[in-house]
Amino acid sequence: MHDMSAHAVHHGAPTSFIRKHIFSLDHKVIGKQYYALALVAVIVGMVLSWLMRLHLGFANFAIPGLHLLSKNGAPGDIMTPEYYLQLMTMHGTIMVFFVLTTAPFAAFGNFFLPIQTGAEDMPFPHFNMMSFWVTFTGFVILMASFFVSDGPTLGGWTQYAPLSAVGAVSGPGQGTGVVLWAFSIAFFCVGQLFGSLNFITTTLDMRCKGMSLMRLPLSAWAWFITSIMGLTAFAVLMPAVILLILDHIAGTSFFVASNLVINDSLLPHSGGSTLLWQHLFWFFGHPEVYIAIIPGMGIVSHILITNMRRPMLSHRVLIYSMGALAVLSYMVYGHHMFVSGMNPISSLAFSFPTLIITIPSTIVVLIWLGSLYGSKLRINSASLFALGFISMFISGGISGFFLAQPSIDILLHATYFVVGHFHLVMAVAAIFGIFGGTYFWFPKMTGRMMNESLGQLHFWLTFVGAYCIFMPFHYLGIAGNVRRYQAFVDDYLIPLIPVHKFITVAALATGAVQLIFIYNLIYSRFWGAPAPDNPWQGTSLEWSTATPPPHNNFGDKMPVVYHDPYQYSVEGASSDFIMQTSPEPVHSADEEK
């Protein structure tokens, strides 16, 4: 084992284009590939959300050209009910899996985890390459489902059985569409399992001299914790989707009960359990939302520390809190199922850990706030997005107090309140983490600086826009507006339609603003100002190597680490930061000893 990994790590720099940029073993290239995948996915996902919003805000509005996307789904450019749900399902699936898991975790983690630990590469580069290409295949399969005869599945990203398990009788996309969805997710799981193994091994086995675990930056810790979660969560989802596939193609009945009648005919299934899918799915699904957000917490902490010119009040408390979130996230999954028909005593039992998980979340936020206190905050695109992340995380987290209580969940379950909650706390917050990480690390990844003015403009419009979109979702939910509805035909929902119109306008505008980011990304990649090695005066290892880093990350000399990761504003030091690799002694009482 040791021999193999040693051999793998010392792979030489590739020379051919294909080995360099496509089937690359280099974690940095793989990280960028993941980033590119996430970028394509987020654009698709965002366009889908525009279509959904247009349809919701302006019922039976003909969206010019929509029939080109699907003749059946949009006859005469008018979206059908099933097509709305199909787009919604694809939006959710793409966003959760191919954006929020790939970008903050797989993309940035791949690029920076080995560098921040002082490794030359991941221990299993071939697995790493496969991790990306298997994930990519999953994405292609998912996209392919747009083009099969009755379109992609309409079952929502949660794909509840038996709707997902009985086949085409239950609606368009529920045959081939579901099978493709399930295969896509299975591939995704395999890819992330490979990735997680690499992340864990890198963190545990590949650290350079002097790099104790506690000397790892918070971002590295976040990726490490996330990879452990990935290993356990995806390992549950994968068998679940395989069982789902079997229900489709092998005639099994894992998730389908007996005596179900659709379209006046008895289904040929018997003996399965409806709730089994929900248990399996959410045992993965709840950790998954922490997989989406914990890397963001790490990235944001890392960015903030650099821009506050001080370490966090406590390095350890943040690490322990993220660890506590990870552990607790497996114990709270039942809060998605309060009114699902599981034993009401279980609902109560799941509500307490859910309430308790607010404690580590609060600690994280308080540590951020307490560290801001008395800091020397620099404002730039990266730190703006990091601060925006905190604001969003607070707003989204607070609504968790409501949803954690089964009694209030009676009112709010499956309403737009939930949609507002998870978009703020998971979607927008995590996306802000991605944006922050991009502005922060782009120089290191590409060797060029991003345009700062465009970056700040992007922040302002996105920050205000995101609140305009997602805050009103909560009000809708309080008024009882059910989610996953393609139109609002109920008498009590009709008065709420103006709110939907407002949200639609806000969503279109905020979506358009993202073009600034994409322009900035592309422009800066080719024509941006050349980046110095350490543009933000950071201390961690990624800033002590060249920009962009050489093939084996550190050139001829492997780094040696002398300090905790964040030696900023150390009294008596020669400058306001001491790099981890700097042998300069730290005299003052180290905050983290």
Partner 1 sequence: MAKILAVTIIVIAIASAVPIVMHIWPLPQDISLHGHLIDEQYTDTMWEAGISFLASQILLAIFIWKYSKPAPNAGIKRFPGGAAALVIAAFVLVGTEVLALGVFGAKAWGQAYFTPPSADALPVQVQAGQFAFYFRYPGPDGNFGPIHPNLISEANANFYGLDTTNDQDSKDDIVTAEMAIPVNREIHLLMHSKDLGHSFYVPELRVHQDFVPGLDLSIHFTATKIGKYEIVCTQLCGLGHYNMKAYLEVKSQADYDAWLKQQAALQ
Partner 2 sequence: MKNRYHFGAVLSAIVLLCCGALILGQKVNAAGEGSITGTVKLDGPAPHMKGIDMSKDPYCVKQHANSPAHLETWVVGSGGGVADAVLYLDGWSGDAKTETSVPVFDQKDCMYTPHVLALDTTQEFKVITSDQTAHNIHPLPNPMINVGWNQSQPPGAPPVTKAWKNPEVIPVQCNIHPWMHGWFVVVKGPYAVTDDSGHYTIKNVPPGSYTVKAWHEPDETQTQKVTVAAGGSATADFTFKAK
- Site residues (CB under 6 A) for ligand HEM, limited to 442-501: 469, 483-484
CB of 351 to ligand HEM, least distance (A): 22
Element (H, E) at 567: strand 567-568
| Residue in 119, 218, 326, 431 binding ligand HEM, rule: CB under 6 A | 431
Judged by CB under 8 A, which stretch of 45-53, 187-195, 310-318, 438-446 contacts partner 1?
Answer: 310-318
CA separation for the pair 160, 181 (Å, rounded): 13
Distance, in Å, from the CA atom of 546 to the CA atom of 444, rounded to the nearest integer, reads 8
Least distance from partner 2 to the Cβ atom of residue 75, Å: 5
Q: What beta strand segments (E) does 196-269 contain?
A: 261-262, 265-266
Distance CA 188, CA 94 (A): 11
Q: How far is the CB of 405 from partner 2 (least distance, A)?
A: 32
Q: Report 461-520 residues binding partner 2 (CB under 8 A).
A: 487, 489, 491
The DSSP code sequence of 434-472 is: HHHHHHHHHHHHHSBPPPHHHHHHHHHHHHHHHHHHHHH
In the region spanning residues 196 to 255, those forming contacts with partner 2, defined by CB under 8 A, are none
Our CB check for ligand HEM shows the closer of 81 and 210 to be 81
Q: Return the C-alpha torsion angle 562, 564, 568, 570, nearest 10.
A: -70
Decide which of partner 1, partner 2, ligand HEM, none touches 252; Cβ closer than 5 to 8 Å per partner kind: none
CB atoms within 10 A of CB 488: 18
Position with the least CB separation from ligand HEM: 92
Residue 506 beta carbon to partner 2: minimum distance, rounded to whole angstroms: 25
Please, are residues 142 and 572 in contact by the beta-carbon 8 Å criterion?
A: no
DSSP 8-state code for residue 577: E
Q: Cis peptide before 535, with omega less than 30 degrees from 0?
A: no
State the DSSP code for 565: S
Told to check if 142 binds ligand HEM by CB under 6 A, we report no
Cβ closer to partner 1: 246 or 275? 275
Rounded Cα distance between 353 and 560, Å, is 42
Where does this chain touch partner 2 (CB under 8 A) — which range of 76-84, 93-101, 411-419, 585-593? 76-84
In the complex, least distance from residue 64 CB atom to partner 1, rounded to whole angstroms: 24
Contacts of partner 2 in 545-574 (CB under 8 A): none
Calpha distance 559→118 (Å, rounded): 6
What's the residue count for the chain?
593
For position 497 contacting partner 1 by CB under 8 A, the verdict is: no
**x/- contact string, 106-145, with partner 2 (CB under 8 A)?**
----------------------------------------
Output the six-digit token pair for 343: 């034993």
Q: How many residues bind partner 1 (CB under 8 A)?
A: 113
Tokens coding 415? 């309403």
- List the structure tokens of 473: 């979702």
144 touches, from partner 2, partner 1, ligand HEM, none (C-beta below 5 to 8 Å by class): none
Applying CB under 8 A, the residues found at the interface with partner 2 are 60, 72, 75-76, 78-82, 150, 168, 171-172, 263-265, 487, 489, 491
Binding site for ligand HEM (CB under 6 A): 46, 49, 52-53, 88-89, 91-92, 95-96, 99-100, 156-158, 419, 423, 426-427, 431, 469, 483-484, 507, 511
